[in-house]
Chains A and B, each alone.
Chain A
Amino acid sequence: MSTVQLENVSKSFGATIAAENVSFEVRPGELLTLLGPSGCGKTTLLRIVAGFLRPSSGLVRLAGKVVNTVPPHLRHVGLVFQSYALFPHMTVRDNVAFGLKMHGVSRAESERRVAEILDLVQLSERAGHVPSQLSGGQQQRVALARALVTQPTILLLDEPFSALDRQIGELLRAELKRIQRRLSISTILVTHAQDEALMLADRVVVMNQGRIEQIGAPEELYRWPRTRFVAEFLGRSNLVRIGDVASRIRIEGPLGTEPETATTELHGPQSALRIAMVRPEYVRLHCVGGATHDHWYAGRVEEAHYLGHTRLFRIRLDVGVSIEALTLSADGRDLVVDSVVFVEIPPEAFHVVGSSGAGELPRSDIAATDRLMV
């Protein structure tokens, strides 16, 4: 039985549609991420699950029961906000004990559980402090402890790392993952940061304009995005028009003139023209060679960026397409702007957008090819 289940949930505010026909479930112990740009409806969905908003239509189930009209205080969910939302006038200990007090847990039992959870988030020594005496990261750990101590049906996290410095945020991410796995508590994490989603989630729900674009495991979404939006929102991607001539996949030209709706219509097996995605790290660069090879394209370096552990190139192909290529930074030192370069894109690097993923194109392990051969 799933802990949370949304069935055709829609929510509109006046004429604005915040969520449209959304269905997904959170399996027991799973960390599900709602990922999307701001305004895509992910926070609205979280507030619907928490009970602060009622869906305009559709059903919300918590632990199997329909809870559409159940007020927040009876839903037994744990909430963590971006702004921490700690009780400023209470000590860390009292903040964490608040939920237990509301549920009528005895004092001795409460003290034991508060001590236990503070130990888990490594804040036992700060129990007597008030929130304003703590750092942002510590405050968010208190918020997490406060939400977890009542053993809620589901843990709801609304952009919990966005207010923190990047380094602190990354530390806390790892800690959250550790705690979530250890307690195996079902969790919904709302975020706009794709790296956060990829790192933490068991499954990701990618949202756009109130609708679900795709649901899947992080790797599934990254390698086999079903829509153009997912391909572009998750990581860097090259989208090109390809032609399939006698089982030789060739880039035909740039994208951009086709209407947005064409993406799903173009992927039929009979179609000679499709839209495909190539991840920049799957593009191989060669300094010498010729465009006579299969899957090779001649081009010229338009931009070269040094990014620390990688280098990012933008290469203008003679077929009229600009392609991004990513290499390890140990390679590609000789490639500067205006260098002539030969680009190799193996057929298995293409993923036809709109296809259901596995099977449409060969699934060989392309990751091994992301070394530059200069």
Chain B
Amino acid sequence: MSADSGREDVKGWVTRGIAGATLVFLVLPQFILLIESFTADNHLTFPPSRYGLRWYGYILTDPDWVGALVRSMVVASVVTPLTVLIGLAAAFALDRGPRRGRRAIYTLLIAPMILPHVVLGLGQFQIAFWTHMQDTLAAYTLAHLTIALPYAIIIIGASLQVFDRRVEEAAQSLGAVPWRAVVYVTLPALRPSLIATAIFAFITSFDEFIITYLLSTRQVTIPIQIFNSLSFQLEPSVAAISGLTLIVTAALSGILIARGQLPGAPQAMR
């Protein structure tokens, strides 16, 4: 065996080691949680002594859990299309609008990504308090929009930057009014990034804790319900809700990857 193939061997093992460690640290905790969610015990223990769908049944019937779940779904469902629409408009304006002040506006729009959420949340709490918007879906929606928009602007902006404007010009020369050229040609080209933005927006909203916590008293969303539930006791309902989220997310991304619509998936490569 030559020294060269020996070095290849070492390289191979290092790669495998890193991949293995990544799997263990990223996937194993979720896998354990998933197993725990199917427990029929009264407390969170691993491994469970008995299995069943008991806690899934519980979170889908208990009014507190159902309320939080519905609230989270409603907010996320409103935040998602709004993020895509506003993000698209902002990205277009930043890409094609006047150059003056472009950098300043971009920085301002991206700022929520860098600012600590506690600081953002305190400001929003103050405003919600003055305007009596605490515990309202409107307040949650606005809060989630603030932190989801930077992702939208970055993702859509990046693909607008690599988009060949000549494709749009070709459409115009073929008789398409400028807005029709955008609808028929530019938007379809941006589709992968729009889908990615929607996924990010939904997850950001569904997952948001700090600001929503500050804005709510009784009308809680899922992350706060989980937090509250953990504060009192280690009930397997937490594992069940985590399991539910995991299964839905996995199914969703599975469909997207299979259809080649998730950016980064090999089929979506241009």
Residues of A participating in the B interface, judged by any CB pair closer than 8 Å? 50-52, 71-79, 81, 83, 85-89, 98-99, 102-103, 132, 143, 146-147, 150, 156
Contact = CB atoms under 8 A, between A and B. Distances in A.
B119 to A, nearest CB: 42
A217 to B, nearest CB: 29
Given A73-B176, A73-B178, A87-B185, A98 B169 contact: no
Contact of A98 (B166, B178, B184): B184
A73 B172 contact: yes
Interface string B174-186: 1111101100110
A86 B169 CA distance: 11
Nearest to B187: A89
18 contacts: A50-B173, A51-B173, A72-B172, A73-B172, A73-B176, A73-B181, A75-B173, A78-B173, A79-B170, A79-B173, A81-B166, A85-B170, A87-B170, A88-B167, A99-B175, A102-B176, A102-B180, A103-B175
Contact of B166 (A78, A83, A89): A83
A87 B173 contact: no
Given A73-B174, A102-B171, A147-B170, 15 more contacts: A50-B169, A52-B169, A73-B173, A73-B175, A74-B175, A77-B173, A79-B169, A81-B169, A85-B167, A87-B171, A88-B189, A98-B184, A102-B174, A132-B270, A150-B175
A156 B12 CA distance: 53
Nearest to A79: B173
A89 B169 contact: no
B167 A87 contact: yes
Q: Which residue among B167, B169, B170, B175 has the maximum number of chain A CB atoms within 10 Å of its CB? A: B170
A89 B188 contact: yes
Interface string B196-225: 000000000000000000000000000000
Given A102-B180, A103-B175, A85 B169 contact: yes
B164 interface: yes
B27 to A, nearest CB: 33
Interface of B: 164, 166-167, 169-178, 180-181, 184-185, 188-189, 191, 270
Contacts of B174: 73, 98-99, 102, 146-147, 150
Contacts of B180: 102
Given A73-B178, A88-B270, A98 B171 contact: yes
A73 to B, nearest CB: 5
Contacts of B181: 73
Nearest to A104: B175
Contacts of A79: 169-170, 173
B164 A83 contact: yes
B164 A85 contact: yes
Nearest to B169: A52
Contacts of B188: 87, 89
A77 B173 CA distance: 6
Contact of A89 (B170, B171, B177, B189): B189
A86 B184 CA distance: 12
Contacts of B185: 87
A4 to B, nearest CB: 14
Contacts of B270: 88, 132
A87 B191 CA distance: 13
Contacts of B173: 50-51, 72-73, 75, 77-79, 147, 156
Contacts of B177: 73
User: 4 closest pairs, A vs B, by CB?
Assistant: A99-B174, A102-B175, A85-B166, A79-B173
A156 B173 CA distance: 10
A81 B170 contact: yes
A143 B189 CA distance: 17
